[in-house]
Amino acid sequence: MNCTSAIDLEMGTASSNFPTSAPGFNESPLRPWALVTEQGERTIGREWGAEDSTSGSFLSPVFAKSIDLLLKFKELQPNWDSYGAMPISNEAITATKELFAFLQSKLYDLSSSFFQPYDLEPVATVPLDDGGVGVEWSFPGFEIEVLIGPDCKLEYLAVEGSGEGRKYAESDDASKEEILSLFLKAFSN
C-alpha cells in the first residue's frame, strides 16, 4: 500500500549547512526553529534532502534524532530481531515523517508559555516487528505512544495521570487530527 501526502509546509528559510545537533539549540516562538551557536551565529530552519523527505517539508531539529533513526530503520533486514520481524516499510517511514510535519505545522502557531516547539521531541522512535514504526512522547502527567503501521495505519495509546488515577485512551484506527487532539490535551494539563 502506498501512502500519499498533501502536506506542504513553508515554515522558513532552509539552510543546507544546518547541523542536526549542537550546543546552544534554542527554540524561538517567533520562528519555527532556530539554532544559536556558541559564537552567536543564528541559523533558521532545516531542509531534509529529497532522499529524506517525500514532501520537501522543513522539519524542526527536534525531529533530527528520530529522522536519523528512521534512515537506519531502512537498513533493517528481514528477521532483524531474530524472531521473524519484517523489514520496516518505506510507507511507514514516510508516514512517520508526515506525522511529524503535520504536528509541527498545526502546533507551531500555538507556541506560548504552555507549549514550545522543542516539546515535540519524541522520547523514543523504534522499529516494530510488523514493519511499522513506534514513536513516544512524554509530558508531565501525560504520555502518548503512536504506532505507524507498514500500511500507514495510525494507532495510539495515551496515558493521563499517574498511579491508580491513570486514565487510558486508545485507538487502533486513528487520524492525524485525533493524535493532534492528544497533544492539545497534554499541553493543557
Measuring CA to CA, how many Å separate 187 from each of 32, 57, 80? 18, 24, 36
The Cα–Cα gap between 159 and 141 comes to 8
* Full residue range of the structural domain in which residue 90 is found: 64-188
Per 3-state DSSP, the chain is made up of helix, strand and coil in percentages (nearest 5) of 30, 25, 50
- Residue 167 domain-assigned (yes or no): yes
- Residue 6 domain-assigned (yes or no): no
Q: How many domains does the chain have?
A: 1
- Residue 182 domain-assigned (yes or no): yes
> In the prediction, which pLDDT does 187 show?
83
- Residue 3 domain-assigned (yes or no): no
- Residue 83 domain-assigned (yes or no): yes
- Residue 110 domain-assigned (yes or no): yes
Count CB neighbours of 109 within 10 A: 8
- Torsion angle, alpha carbons of 112, 119, 98, 58, to 10: 70
> In the prediction, which pLDDT does 163 show?
87
- Residue 18 domain-assigned (yes or no): no
> In the prediction, which pLDDT does 177 show?
95
- Residue 16 domain-assigned (yes or no): no
User: Domain of 77: which CATH number?
Assistant: 3.10.450
Long-range contact pairs involving 26-34 (C-beta distance under 8 Å, separation at least 24): 27/60, 27/62, 27/116, 27/117, 27/118, 29/111, 29/112, 29/116, 29/117, 32/58, 32/60, 32/104, 32/108, 32/117, 33/60, 33/61, 33/62, 33/117
Mean pLDDT by 10-residue block, N- to C-terminus, for the chain (189 residues)?
A: 35 29 33 39 36 50 88 94 96 95 80 62 95 95 96 96 92 96 87
> In the prediction, which pLDDT does 176 show?
96
